[in-house]
């Protein structure tokens, strides 16, 4: 037990939301029972007659059932199960007596309700423990008062309070009413990790049953009486904007209610970092059913015209910066030509240690390699969509959002409604990967609803979704390494850039491990919009850097794992420079674990192995990936992964997340790309955008976690970036060819 000061507010009543009211035409309850998921036979839960709210996160029923609010939106990373587990742990309640609800969007009660950056569990860890621990303390105090004994003599475990001296016991439900009146304690005891019984033991996804039976959960499933369907036409290429449209044919088509133009951002509005809005002027078609609107959208005639260069300021969490959107039509071949030109010039120096130039001049051997990657579309399986019902003085919104607080202000400004008059319901997201942090579609839905005077669900077609921008940028990185006559790495130089941003992390490994180090960066403006994509920038840099280290190790005649471990030893014992953005010991830890678990060095002749490791989002990941050749085509047979993300809350779900990150990484490295011709994306749907499929996914992925008692860190992103490097290194072993440019495979026919 550790005694800590609490920071829980007094019972902070959940804003009674109009969303809880009627109007739903089908059952749309967020209530998920943990019990039905943990027992094979369904057990009917008897609901309590009365609930007592102990704090914003939890209420206890008079029969001992506990409802826990999961504060962050869920997009498949499992927080809706893991976050309540943390509360339940400190509350010390039996998991089968827990019901889980998606918390309403309410920053006052729940703080930063953001899903992204692998920060969910890390940032919530202390607060969620506090929510459970203070409640437990209040229950103990209530029991102590009822039994007239000192609170120190009351124990609480698995939902039962006990007084050893008198033998008295009571369930949490019996004292919940009294506990709800106890002042929030100023100090509580938190368990030590060794005392955990729920955290660290695998629990099933609380929404599993609903998912496998097709129950409504997602924004696309959202039903509300009288809802119309809306779709929006945007320019077919970047560099174009709306000129005019002719709706004469479309208006008379069956089921069509209205056709009009919307402007999503008003002139002069200062955007935040997530107000990325590729196309501000859209032509909207509203109708009764999806099929009717789809047909009308095809028939709509729109004229587009070229944009002129624009500049605007973006408020990046207090830092203002100017963004330049150039005119013109961009193409992928021009992009690569320009990147090559920029890479040949000196960049902006982001970090320098020692004297790199002198070291390169003195080197016995210099290795230089260049790596590139294309734009990528997020391709969440659930396309962007949003529900809105906006009246003169109130907006009711619902849909998939990673960060409702990032769009609340934009909505308020654009609708001219105070935030108190805007209710946002967070539905389960059919994937996010960063895309749903840019929720311009919520503003679009709201404007459409206001204009048409009815509840509306805005639906993006797959083509709309894939061609709207907000892509993973295209990047370019040139690495140089100097080896002395004893094959020691004496200098390391990275120069990285991209369209329209640089991917460089100047202070990451191998910075700190090499005496002479230089990191430079550059960027090229573009009118193609970009956004965060699972492990932004790391998703390119890890692959490039780890493939380059593999080549250095080879040229130096060293084992690739031992080569990295030697560098990490240097960084630990005698680090070069300051601000090195990693802990060498933990970094080495995952490499050592993956070496042991994969049986490194003992591979068979049929299998080609690659290794890679990376640190990002506060966690460490290392992979050993095995490729086999089948009919001249490489296939990933198996991946062994080692992760250090501190305490693992829900191990099986965490393993699933790592497996998914690995498969996703293989897919994007092998096949993913958006290319442009005359400003238009050449991939608009899954017939031309190749996604990894079942037959291309490894048959086996082994995930091993480093066991420690460090507070949890990121998990959704860290296993993803190093896959690109492990794959490139294994492909080299399999084919004798180094892979520098993603996607690695572009010639195989698409599967229908």
51 to 80, contacts with other proteins by CB under 8 A?
Answer: 75-78
Among 699, 736, 747, 749, binds other proteins (CB under 8 A): 699
Nearer to other proteins, 531 or 577 (CB): 531
Shortest Cβ distance from residue 477 to other proteins (Å)? 25
Nearest CA to 88 among 205, 208, 191? Answer: 191
Among 18, 42, 368, 741, binds other proteins (CB under 8 A): 42
Radius of gyration of the chain (CA): 28
Binding mask 227-256 for other proteins (x = CB under 8 A): --x------------------------x--
Shortest Cβ distance from residue 633 to other proteins (Å)? 14
Shortest Cβ distance from residue 405 to other proteins (Å)? 21
Tell me the CA distances in angstroms from 501 to 380, 474, 476, 521, 651, one per residue in order: 23, 9, 10, 9, 36
Tokens 């102990």 identify what position?
Answer: 54
Shortest Cβ distance from residue 225 to other proteins (Å)? 11
Binding mask 203-232 for other proteins (x = CB under 8 A): -xx-xxx-xxxxxxxx-xx-x-----x---
Residue 448 neighbours by CB under 8 Å, 6+ apart: 230, 232, 262, 284, 286, 388, 456, 458
Shortest Cβ distance from residue 247 to other proteins (Å)? 20
Shortest Cβ distance from residue 730 to other proteins (Å)? 17
- What 3-state DSSP class applies to 560? helix
Among 151, 327, 349, 751, binds other proteins (CB under 8 A): 751
369 to 388, contacts with other proteins by CB under 8 A?
Answer: 378-383
Shortest Cβ distance from residue 662 to other proteins (Å)? 7
Nearer to other proteins, 45 or 691 (CB): 691
Tell me the CA distances in angstroms from 563 to 88, 556, 580, one per residue in order: 44, 9, 19
Among 166, 289, 310, 525, binds other proteins (CB under 8 A): 289
Binding mask 78-117 for other proteins (x = CB under 8 A): x---------------------------------------
17 to 36, contacts with other proteins by CB under 8 A?
Answer: 25-26
d(CA 562, CA 601): 11
d(CA 445, CA 410): 13
d(CA 326, CA 594): 46
Nearer to other proteins, 265 or 641 (CB): 641
Nearer to other proteins, 289 or 361 (CB): 289
Tell me the CA distances in angstroms from 234 to 27, 284, 349, 376, 393, one per residue in order: 34, 9, 39, 19, 29
Nearest CA to 140 among 157, 159, 156? Answer: 156
Nearer to other proteins, 215 or 488 (CB): 215
The size of the interface with other proteins (CB under 8 A), counted in residues, is: 74
Residue 687 neighbours by CB under 8 Å, 6+ apart: 750, 752
Residue 142 CB neighbour total at 10 angstroms: 24
List phi, psi (to 5°) of 431. Answer: 90, 160
659 to 698, contacts with other proteins by CB under 8 A?
Answer: 659-664, 667, 685-687, 691-695, 697-698
605 to 664, contacts with other proteins by CB under 8 A?
Answer: 652-653, 656-657, 659-664
Structure tokens at 366: 């210099």
CA 664 to chain centre: 13
- What 3-state DSSP class applies to 481? strand
Shortest Cβ distance from residue 333 to other proteins (Å)? 27
ω into 79 cis (within 30 of 0): no
165 to 194, contacts with other proteins by CB under 8 A?
Answer: none
431 contributes a contact to other proteins by CB under 8 A: yes
What is the rounded (10 degree) CA torsion for 234, 239, 241, 244? -100
């Amino acid at each position: 037990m550790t005694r800590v000061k609490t920071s829980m507010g007094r019972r902070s009543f959940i804003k009674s939301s109009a969303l809880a009211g009627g109007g739903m035409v089908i059952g749309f309850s967020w209530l998920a029972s943990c019990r039905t998921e943990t027992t094979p036979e369904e057990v009917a839960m008897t609901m309590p007659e009365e609930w007592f709210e102990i704090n914003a996160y939890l209420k206890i029923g008079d029969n001992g059932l506990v409802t826990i609010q999961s504060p962050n939106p869920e997009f498949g990373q499992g927080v809706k199960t893991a976050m309540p587990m943390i509360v339940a742990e400190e509350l010390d309640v039996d998991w089968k007596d827990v019901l889980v609800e998606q918390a309403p969007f309410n920053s006052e009660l729940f703080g930063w309700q953001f899903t992204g950056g692998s920060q969910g569990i890390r940032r919530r860890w202390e607060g969620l423990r506090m929510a459970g621990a203070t409640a437990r303390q209040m229950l103990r105090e209530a029991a102590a008062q009822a039994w007239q004994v000192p609170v120190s003599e009351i124990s609480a475990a698995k939902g039962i309070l006990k007084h050893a001296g008198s033998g008295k016991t009571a369930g949490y439900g019996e004292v919940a009413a009294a506990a709800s009146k106890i002042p929030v304690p100023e100090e509580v005891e938190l368990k030590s990790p060794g005392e955990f019984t729920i955290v660290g033991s695998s629990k099933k996804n609380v929404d599993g049953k609903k998912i496998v039976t097709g129950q409504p959960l997602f924004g696309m499933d959202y039903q509300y009486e009288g809802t119309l369907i809306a779709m929006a036409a945007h320019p077919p290429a970047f560099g174009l904007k709306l000129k005019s449209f002719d709706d004469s044919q479309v208006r008379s088509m069956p089921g069509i209610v209205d056709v009009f133009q919307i402007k999503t951002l008003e002139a002069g509005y200062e955007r935040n970092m997530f107000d990325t809005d590729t196309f501000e002027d859209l032509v909207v078609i509203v109708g009764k059913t999806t099929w009717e609107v789809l047909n009308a959208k095809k028939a709509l005639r729109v004229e587009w015209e070229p944009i002129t260069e624009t500049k605007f300021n973006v408020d990046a969490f207090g830092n203002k910066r100017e963004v330049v959107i150039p005119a013109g039509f961009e193409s992928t071949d021009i992009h690569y030509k320009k990147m090559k030109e920029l890479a040949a010039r000196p960049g902006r120096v982001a970090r320098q240690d020692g004297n790199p130039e002198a070291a390169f001049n003195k080197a016995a051997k210099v290795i230089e390699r260049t790596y590139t990657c294309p734009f990528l579309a997020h391709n969440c399986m659930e396309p962007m969509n949003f529900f809105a019902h906006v009246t003169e003085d109130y907006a009711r919104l619902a849909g998939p959002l990673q960060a409702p607080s990032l769009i609340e202000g934009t909505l308020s400004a654009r609708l001219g409604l105070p935030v108190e008059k805007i209710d946002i319901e967070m539905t389960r997201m059919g994937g996010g990967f960063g895309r749903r942090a840019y929720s311009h579609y919520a503003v679009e839905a709201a404007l459409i609803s206001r204009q048409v005077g009815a509840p509306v669900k805005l639906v993006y077609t797959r083509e709309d979704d894939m061609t709207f921008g907000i892509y993973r940028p295209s990047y370019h990185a040139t690495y140089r390494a100097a080896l002395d006559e004893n094959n020691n790495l004496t200098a390391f130089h990275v120069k990285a850039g991209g369209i329209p941003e640089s991917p460089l992390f100047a202070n990451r490994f191998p910075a700190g491990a090499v005496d002479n180090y230089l990191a430079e960066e550059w960027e090229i403006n573009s009118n193609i919009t970009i956004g965060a994509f699972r492990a932004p920038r790391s998703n390119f840099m890890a692959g490039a850097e780890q493939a380059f280290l593999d080549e250095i190790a080879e040229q130096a005649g060293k084992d690739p794992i031992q080569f990295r471990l030697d560098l990490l030893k240097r960084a630990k014992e005698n680090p070069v420079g300051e601000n090195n953005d990693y802990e060498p010991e933990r970094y080495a830890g995952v490499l050592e674990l993956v070496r042991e678990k994969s049986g490194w060095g003992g591979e068979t002749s049929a299998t080609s192995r690659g290794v890679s490791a990376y640190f990002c989002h506060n966690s460490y990941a290392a992979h050993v990936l095995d490729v086999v050749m089948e009919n001249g085509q490489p296939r990933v047979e198996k991946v062994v992964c080692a992760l250090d993300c501190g305490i693992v809350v829900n191990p099986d779900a965490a393993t699933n997340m790592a497996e998914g990150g690995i498969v996703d990484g293989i897919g994007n490295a092998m096949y993913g790309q958006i290319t442009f011709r005359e400003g238009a994306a050449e991939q608009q749907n899954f017939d031309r955008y190749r996604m990894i499929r079942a037959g291309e996914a490894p048959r086996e992925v082994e995930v091993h976690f480093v066991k420690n008692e460090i507070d949890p860190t990121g998990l959704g992103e860290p296993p993803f970036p190093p896959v690109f490097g492990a794959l490139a290194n294994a492909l080299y072993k399999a084919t004798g060819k180094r892979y520098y440019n993603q996607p690695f495979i572009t010639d195989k026919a698409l599967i229908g």
